[in-house]
A = this chain, B = another copy of it.
Amino acid sequence: MQSHQIQPAPEPPGLTPQAMAAWQSFLQAHTVVTRALERELVATQRLPLAEYDVLFQLSAAPDGRLRMAQLADRVLLSRSGLTRLVERLEGVGLVRREVCPSDARGAYAVLTTTGRARLGAAMAGHLRSVQEHFGDVLDCQQMESLRVALDQLVAANLAEPAACAQEVAPTKP
């Protein structure tokens, strides 16, 4: 690999056309795949993706429970967004809320038995959808490179949640 950003570069080439194209494809791919999955999940299970994701993340967590904030991070929703979503799920009995014993401000979202069952009913089909629309499209190598690249993106953008003038500068001056 040739280019790791040259320090005193007089002319950073800016965004390459390659990168621009990739960015467009990224947006497009996300939209089309995501819509397909949502469509199928709703059609077959009457369950939107966001709801599914909550059930899934809870089921993957120890005791089927997670603090609201952590759950929000995992399902990629704002705090308030998650509050409403859990509210809805609680309304239909798939999730219940419990207060946190060690911190009275905190709340747990807990997967109910019905919730677990509902997830069980939906999961196989949804995984097949993901496979069909995403997994089967790429071969193993591609998939692995893709994962690596995407994780880099995540890492880079979690490192700088706000605008950051300096690069990675965790060291206090």
Contact = CB atoms under 8 A, between A and B. Distances in A.
Contact of A135 (B16, B128, B157): B16
- Residue of A15, A16, A21 contacting most chain B CB atoms (<10 Å): A15
Nearest to A35: B157
A14 interface: yes
Q: In the assembly, how many copies of this chain are there?
A: 2
Interface stretch (A105-113, A114-122, A144-152): A144-152
A141 B19 CA distance: 11
A128 B14 contact: yes
Contact of A145 (B29, B142, B161): B142
Contact of A3 (B76, B139, B152, B154): B139
Interface residues of A, number: 61
Interface string A18-40: 11111101111111111010001
Contacts of A34: 27
Interface class of chain A by DSSP: helix
Interface in A134-173: 134-154, 156-158, 160-161, 163
Contacts of A146: 22, 25-26, 145-146, 149
Interface string A65-82: 000000000001000000
A76 B18 contact: no
A158 B43 CA distance: 19
A137 B151 CA distance: 10
Given A1-B141, A16-B140, 9 more contacts: A19-B130, A19-B135, A21-B147, A25-B151, A31-B76, A33-B157, A43-B163, A133-B156, A137-B156
